[in-house]
Amino acid sequence: MELVCPRCGKRYKPTKGRYLCDCGSVLLVSYKNMKWAPRGEGVWRYKSCLPHKGKHFSLQEGGTPLVKGRDRDVYYKLEGDNPTGSFKDRGTAVVVSRAVSEGFKTVSTASTGNMGASIAAYAAYADIKARIFVPSSTPINKLSQIIAYGAELVKVKGTFHDAVARLWDDVSKGSYLAVTGANPYYIEGEKTIGYEIYEDIGVPDKIIVPMGTGGLITSIYKAFTELKRMRKIRKLPQMIGVQAGNCSPIVNAYSEGVDRAERMEKCNTIASAIMIKTPFNDLTALNAIRKSKGDALSVSDAEIRHAIRGLGEEGIFAEPASATALAAYEKIEKEKGDKVALIITGSGLKDPSAVI
Under the rule (CB under 6 A), what is the footprint of ligand F0G?
A: 86, 88, 111-115, 180-181, 210-216, 273-274, 319, 321-322, 345-346
Query: CA nearest 281: which of 215, 225, 224, 222?
Result: 215
Shortest Cβ 91–ligand F0G spacing (Å): 8
Shortest Cβ 213–ligand F0G spacing (Å): 4
Please say which residue, 86 or 97, places its beta carbon nearer to ligand F0G: 86
CA distance 194 to 225: 10
CA distance 24 to 22: 5
Shortest Cβ 284–ligand F0G spacing (Å): 10
Shortest Cβ 287–ligand F0G spacing (Å): 14
CA distance 127 to 261: 37
With beta carbons less than 8 A apart as the criterion, state whether 348 and 310 touch.
no
Please say which residue, 86 or 159, places its beta carbon nearer to ligand F0G: 86
* 255-284: burial string, b at 16+ Cβ within 10 Å, e else: eeeebebeebeebebbbbbbbbbbbbbbbb
Distance of CA 89 to the CA centre of its chain: 10
**Ramachandran angles phi, psi of 313, nearest 5°:** -65, -20
CA distance 89 to 342: 18
Please say which residue, 237 or 346, places its beta carbon nearer to ligand F0G: 346
Sheet containing 106-110: order of strands = 152-156, 129-135, 106-110, 176-177
Please say which residue, 53 or 253, places its beta carbon nearer to ligand F0G: 253
The helix-helix angle for 282-291 and 215-229 (nearest 10°) equals 50
Please say which residue, 192 or 213, places its beta carbon nearer to ligand F0G: 213
DSSP state of 323: H
Please say which residue, 106 or 111, places its beta carbon nearer to ligand F0G: 111
Please say which residue, 180 or 269, places its beta carbon nearer to ligand F0G: 180
CA distance 254 to 348: 29
Shortest Cβ 216–ligand F0G spacing (Å): 4
Cα atoms in the 13 Å half-sphere on the side-chain side of 320: 27
Shortest Cβ 333–ligand F0G spacing (Å): 23
Please say which residue, 51 or 210, places its beta carbon nearer to ligand F0G: 210
The helix-helix angle for 320-331 and 301-312 (nearest 10°) equals 100
Please say which residue, 235 or 309, places its beta carbon nearer to ligand F0G: 309
Amino acid at 129: K
Shortest Cβ 189–ligand F0G spacing (Å): 12
Shortest Cβ 335–ligand F0G spacing (Å): 26
Shortest Cβ 337–ligand F0G spacing (Å): 28
